[in-house]
């Protein structure tokens, strides 16, 4: 990152955009005439010059944030200050942690020095950069930085972080208003690019860094930054050279789609592990050089679970599983609260952890998260009789053949066949549906609209991948790969009402009182129903952390997935066994709309 920022600075200086730097490490006022010159020159920038300058400005702002304060005073649950976007816990080619090899500093891991000792120097560096572009008053405050709006979804923790970020920016004269939205609205606002700067977070979909990187290709439904879209689409400021890895790819001053999209596609077809991981580091370098992604901390998963609950488990993606639970030895019912009304619980369209938890109870894929003989979490066969090795073809593609278990049925009693899987995968991958996670099928030959998946007969499914994929079994356990039935999804509203919701997993939906509670009841047509201990799960819908805690304390809800930030210290003491801080591979970050104007 330091190398890339240096390159940006060099370009800006060559263009004559940099006024005399302030050598002081304190926030003092630079000469007024220099600031005025910088502002005048900023107004005369080309689109390309403007984009490079704004990348530097976003980088400067990222240095203003005290990540240790955020995790110690606000988070209070073992979060780790983040120095990269790819989360702690993701491994590199040699088995070391990917984030520790990010950036090019020999003094710290990642792209920022996030140590307590470095914050003062980071702040001074940020101020020095900002005062090259903006006028300041006699108090050293920036006077002509555009007013920002920080968008976040309703949560006490998100609000507290937003307020801290607001105060950090106010310390240099930047005004940032706060706007909170209900979860579904927030997701769509961010996805549509109708924001300037927003709260964001990403949890691993599987244990490979590519799941943090492929979401930023131009056409991805998760590309909230709007890379390669709008004004950014035609900006030719990115470069890519993959010749040292054996690829005839060398682009100078290309667009995002000509560089980053090409890079991700190359990574996904690369079978040389060392080259593949090296190129993933290049991808993260490109992301971080834009300044649009500002990591704050690496996640932990905070929740509370009543000590009467046994058999509960969660996975590193944050999904929570209640199929095998009992409450005081009874499997009659359990009431829990994860979040507010889900945006969707269509397996192909869901892109949130709370929705994925619901989908994972309602559907069964070829594979699922389970435990091995030692009790360790792993991927095991679900609807498939086994998870076979792939067969490599002469052209380098790899074909898998799956046999379905006997007697598989949908919740309405109809037989489930291999054709249902083939239909569901083609639907989820199709350009027509435009699902956020459709790109997860890029590894399959023929993506997006000629997917090489075929139902050989009612119980046999074949799929051909472009090349060997180390995390293929984990993809099979991901909700996007779950089956849906063609006649059911022909009704566009099928996934919004219990009366039209048909699934094949451990549970069927028997009630949905919108914005109140979703009721799941054990699906007697599930092939493994005999081993599902909990008969009913009530998922109450709320994003009010105080309401969650009240209902937990009075015994109404036996698991809650959020708590008020100001209660964390007391809860650790009062509920030492029920307040849980679990490991989770994910990053909490701030994202900028790359098309937001930042210069005077």
Q: Which residues contact 417 (CB under 8 A, 6 or more apart)?
A: 404, 408, 455, 458, 459
Q: Mapped to the 3 state alphabet, what secondary structure does 372-383 carry?
A: CCCCCEEEEECC
Q: How confident is the model at residue 42 (pLDDT cuts 50, 70, 90)?
A: low
CATH 3.10.105.10 residue ranges for the chain: 2-298+587-592
Report pLDDT for 162: 98
Report pLDDT for 556: 98
User: Residue 573 pairs with which residues in a beta bridge?
Assistant: none
Contact assessment for residue 82 and residue 90, using Cβ atoms and an 8 Å cutoff: no
Q: What is the distance between the alpha carbons of residues 568 and 156, in angstroms, rounded to a whole number?
A: 12
Q: What is the distance between the alpha carbons of residues 17 and 600, in angstroms, rounded to a whole number?
A: 13
CATH of 2-298+587-592, one of 3.10.105.10, 3.40.50.2300, 3.30.365.10, 3.40.190.10: 3.10.105.10
Residue 571 vs residue 470, higher pLDDT? 571
- What is the mean predicted confidence (pLDDT) over 294-315? 96
- Where b means 16+ CB within 10 Å and e means fewer, 391-421 reads eeeeeebbebebbbbeebebbeeeebbbbbb
* C-beta contacts of 266-271 below 8 A and 24+ residues apart: 266/242, 267/210, 267/213, 268/210, 268/214, 268/442, 268/443, 268/466, 269/466, 269/467, 270/245, 270/467, 271/396, 271/467, 271/468
| Full-model pTM | 0.84
Tens digits of per-residue pLDDT, 525-566?
A: 999 999 999 999 999 999 999 999 999 999 999 999 999 989
Q: How confident is the model at residue 372 (pLDDT cuts 50, 70, 90)?
A: confident
Q: How far is CA 402 from CA 305, 326, 417, in A?
A: 37, 33, 12
362's tokens: 């309602």
Tens digits of per-residue pLDDT, 122-165?
A: 999 999 999 999 999 999 999 999 999 999 999 999 999 999 99
Closest to 421 in 3D by CA, of 399, 401, 436 = 401
Mean pLDDT rounded to a whole number for the chain: 92
Report pLDDT for 376: 84
Q: How confident is the model at residue 39 (pLDDT cuts 50, 70, 90)?
A: low
Task: Provide the Cα torsion 83, 193, 150, 35; round to 10°.
Answer: 80
Report pLDDT for 131: 96
Closest to 354 in 3D by CA, of 198, 528, 203 = 203
Contact assessment for residue 366 and residue 435, using Cβ atoms and an 8 Å cutoff: no
**Whether residue 14 has pLDDT greater than 80:** no
Q: With 0-12 CB in 10 A as exposed, 13-18 as middle and 19+ as buried, what is 460?
A: middle
Report pLDDT for 40: 57
Q: What is the distance between the alpha carbons of residues 255 and 258, in angstroms, rounded to a whole number?
A: 5
Other C-beta atoms lying within 10 Å of the C-beta of residue 43: 9
- What is the mean predicted confidence (pLDDT) over 211-231? 96
Q: Mapped to the 3 state alphabet, what secondary structure does 79-124 carry?
A: CEECCCCCCCCCECCCCCEHHHHCCCCCCCCCCCCCCHHHHHHHHH
Q: For tokens 């950036």, what's the residue?
A: 103
Contact assessment for residue 485 and residue 363, using Cβ atoms and an 8 Å cutoff: no
**Whether residue 197 has pLDDT greater than 60:** yes
- What is the mean predicted confidence (pLDDT) over 429-439? 93
CATH 3.40.190.10 residue ranges for the chain: 307-543
Report pLDDT for 18: 33
- What is the mean predicted confidence (pLDDT) over 231-253? 97
503's tokens: 């699934």
* Fold of the CATH domain 307-543: D-Maltodextrin-Binding Protein; domain 2 (3.40.190)
Report pLDDT for 25: 32
Report pLDDT for 22: 33
Omega before 448 within 30 of 0, i.e. cis? yes
**Whether residue 431 has pLDDT greater than 70:** yes
Report pLDDT for 36: 52
Q: What is the distance between the alpha carbons of residues 517 and 512, in angstroms, rounded to a whole number?
A: 6
Contact assessment for residue 532 and residue 326, using Cβ atoms and an 8 Å cutoff: no
Question: Percent of the chain at pLDDT above 70?
Answer: 93
Q: How far is CA 276 from CA 270, 516, 540, in A?
A: 6, 46, 43
**Whether residue 270 has pLDDT greater than 80:** yes
**Whether residue 339 has pLDDT greater than 80:** yes
- What is the mean predicted confidence (pLDDT) over 385-395? 97
Report pLDDT for 23: 32
DSSP string, 352-404: SHHHHHHHHHH---SEEEEE-TTS-EEEEESSBS--PPPEE-TTS-EEEEEEB
134's tokens: 């903006």
């Amino acid at each position: 990152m330091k190398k890339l920022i240096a390159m940006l600075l060099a370009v800006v200086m060559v263009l004559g955009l940099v006024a005399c730097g302030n050598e002081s490490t304190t926030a003092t006022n630079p000469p007024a005439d220099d600031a005025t010159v910088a502002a005048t020159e900023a107004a005369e920038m080309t689109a390309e010059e403007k984009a490079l300058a704004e990348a530097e400005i976003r980088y400067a702002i990222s240095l203003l944030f005290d990540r240790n304060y955020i995790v110690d005073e606000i988070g209070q649950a073992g979060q780790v200050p983040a120095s990269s976007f790819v989360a702690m816990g993701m491994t590199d080619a040699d088995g070391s942690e990917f984030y520790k090899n990010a950036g090019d500093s020999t003094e710290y891991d990642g792209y920022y020095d996030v140590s307590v000792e470095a914050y003062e120097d980071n702040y001074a560096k940020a101020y020095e950069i900002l005062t090259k572009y903006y006028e300041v008053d006699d108090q050293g405050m920036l006077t002509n930085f555009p007013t920002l709006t920080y968008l976040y979804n309703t949560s006490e923790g998100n609000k507290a972080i937003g307020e801290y970020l607001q105060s950090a920016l106010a310390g240099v004269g930047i005004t940032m208003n706060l706007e909170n939205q209900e979860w579904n609205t927030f997701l769509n606002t961010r996805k549509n690019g109708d924001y300037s700067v927003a709260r964001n977070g990403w949890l691993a979909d599987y244990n490979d860094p590519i799941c943090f990187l492929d979401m930023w290709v131009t056409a991805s439904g998760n590309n909230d930054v709007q890379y390669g879209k709008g004004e950014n689409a035609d900006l030719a400021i990115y470069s890519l050279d993959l010749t040292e890895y054996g690829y005839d790819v060398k682009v100078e001053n290309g667009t995002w789609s000509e560089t980053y999209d090409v890079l991700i596609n190359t990574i996904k077809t690369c079978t040389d592990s060392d080259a593949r991981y090296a190129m993933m580091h290049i991808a993260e370098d490109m992301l971080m050089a834009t300044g649009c992604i500002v990591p704050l901390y690496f996640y932990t998963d905070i929740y509370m679970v009543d000590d009467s609950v046994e058999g509960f488990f969660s996975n590193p993606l944050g999904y929570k599983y209640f199929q095998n639970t009992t409450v005081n030895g009874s499997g009659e019912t359990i009431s829990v609260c994860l979040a507010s009304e889900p945006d969707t619980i269509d397996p192909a369209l869901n892109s949130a952890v709370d929705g994925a938890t619901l989908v994972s109870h309602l559907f069964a894929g070829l594979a699922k998260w389970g435990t091995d003989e030692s009790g360790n979490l792993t991927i095991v066969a679900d609807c498939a009789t086994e998870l076979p090795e792939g067969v490599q073809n002469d052209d380098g593609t790899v074909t898998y053949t799956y046999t379905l278990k006997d007697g598989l049925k949908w919740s309405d009693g109809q037989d489930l066949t291999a054709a249902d899987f083939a239909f569901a995968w083609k639907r989820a991958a199709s350009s027509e549906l435009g699902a956020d996670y459709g790109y997860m099928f890029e590894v399959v030959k023929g993506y997006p609209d000629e997917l090489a998946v075929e139902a050989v007969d009612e119980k046999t499914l074949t799929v051909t991948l472009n090349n060997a994929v180390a995390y293929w079994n984990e993809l099979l356990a991901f909700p996007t790969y779950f089956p849906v039935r063609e006649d059911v999804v022909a009704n566009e509203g099928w996934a919004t009402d219990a009366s039209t919701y048909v699934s094949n997993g451990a549970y069927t939906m028997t009630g949905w009182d919108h914005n109140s509670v979703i009721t799941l009841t054990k699906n007697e047509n599930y092939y493994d129903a005999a081993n599902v201990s909990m008969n009913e799960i009530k998922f109450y819908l709320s994003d009010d952390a105080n309401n969650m805690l009240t209902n937990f304390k009075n015994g109404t809800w036996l698991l809650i997935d959020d708590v008020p930030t100001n209660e964390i210290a007391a809860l650790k003491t009062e509920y030492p066994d029920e307040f849980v801080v679990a490991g989770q591979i994910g990053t909490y970050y701030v994202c900028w709309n790359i098309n937001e104007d930042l210069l005077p």
